[in-house]
Amino acid sequence: MKVITGLELSAAVVLGAFYVEGGLRGDWLNDWLTGLVVLLLIMWFSFRGVFRAVFGGVPKEFRDAPIGIGTVTGVTRTGLVVNDQPQLDIRLQVDTSDGRSFSAVARQVVDLTDLPAVQPDAILPVRYLPDNRVVLATDAPTHELQAALDRVHVAKGWLTPKQLHITEHGIDASAVVLGMTPTGHTSDGRSELRLGLRVTRPDGTTFDVTQDKKLPPTAIPQVQPGMVVRVKYLPYDESDVAVLTTLSP
C-alpha cells in the first residue's frame, strides 16, 4: 500500500537539501550528482512497489541484467489502463557502465500519483539487454544501484577514481568561495568553473585550494564568491576537495 506519493517525496527531497557532490558507495557522489542519486533512490523506492505489484518484478530475461542510468526524454500514454493506472511508453537516454549511450523505451504501468517522477529529465535506473531493450530496475537493491551509478559516472568521466576515493574516505569541512571563474561548457550542458576555496579544517585552521569543477547551471548560484559550501577532503592530501552543493528545485 502506498503511504507517500512520489510528488510528496520530491518536495521532501528539495526541502531536505540533499547534497550534490560526494561518493555513491557512502552517502555522497562527486559534483552535482548526489542530489540526483538521493532523489533517484528515495523516489524509486517510493513507487517501485506499485510496479512490482503489477508485474511481480522485472521479466525473467532481465533478471541479473546490468543496470544503466536512464534520463527521461519523453512520455506517451499507450491507451492501456490497469487498475485505473495508465500504461506509459517512457522514452529514455540510457548511459551504461562501459561508457555507451543509447535511446530506449520502457513500457510501464505507473501509478497516477507517481507521474511527476517520470517526466522529462527525470533520472531512473533500468536493466538493459545487449539489443538495447530496457525495463525499469524495480528489483534492484540500494547497494546494486549505488555500484551501478558509480561505474556509469566513472565511465562517463563525471567522476574520477581519486574523487570517488575522497567522497568515500574524506572528512567533512566547510569552505568559503574566494573566486569563481567560468572556463567553458561541456557538451552535456554543465558549466566548467575554476573555484578558489578557503577550507576550514575541523581544528579551525584553514588552507586554500583551487579546483576545476563541472557543475550544472542550477548549482552556479551556490558557488558565487563569498558563499560558504560544504566540502570533503583527505587530511593527508589537501590538493583536491569534493564540493557539496544542494539540489535546487
Q: What is the pLDDT of residues 179-206, one digit of tens each?
A: 999 998 877 677 888 999 999 999 999 9
Domain boundary among 106, 132, 161: 161
Q: How many domains does the chain have?
A: 2
Q: How many CB atoms lie within 10 A of CB 248?
A: 16
Q: What is the pLDDT of residues 17-52, one digit of tens each?
A: 333 333 333 333 344 444 444 445 444 444 444 444
Q: At what angle do helices 33-55 and 142-155 cross, to 10 degrees?
A: 130
Is 78 found in the same domain as 143? yes
Residue 76: is it exposed, middle or buried by C-beta count within 10 angstroms (0-12/13-18/19+)?
A: exposed
Q: Which of 11-20, 94-103, 154-163 has the lowest mean pLDDT?
A: 11-20
Nearest to 20 by CA among 226, 216, 237: 216
Contact 176, 226 (CB under 8 A): yes
Domain boundary among 119, 134, 161: 161
d(CA 176, CA 129): 46
Is 174 found in the same domain as 151? no
Domain boundary among 115, 137, 161: 161
Q: What is the pLDDT of residues 56-70, one digit of tens each?
A: 468 889 988 999 989
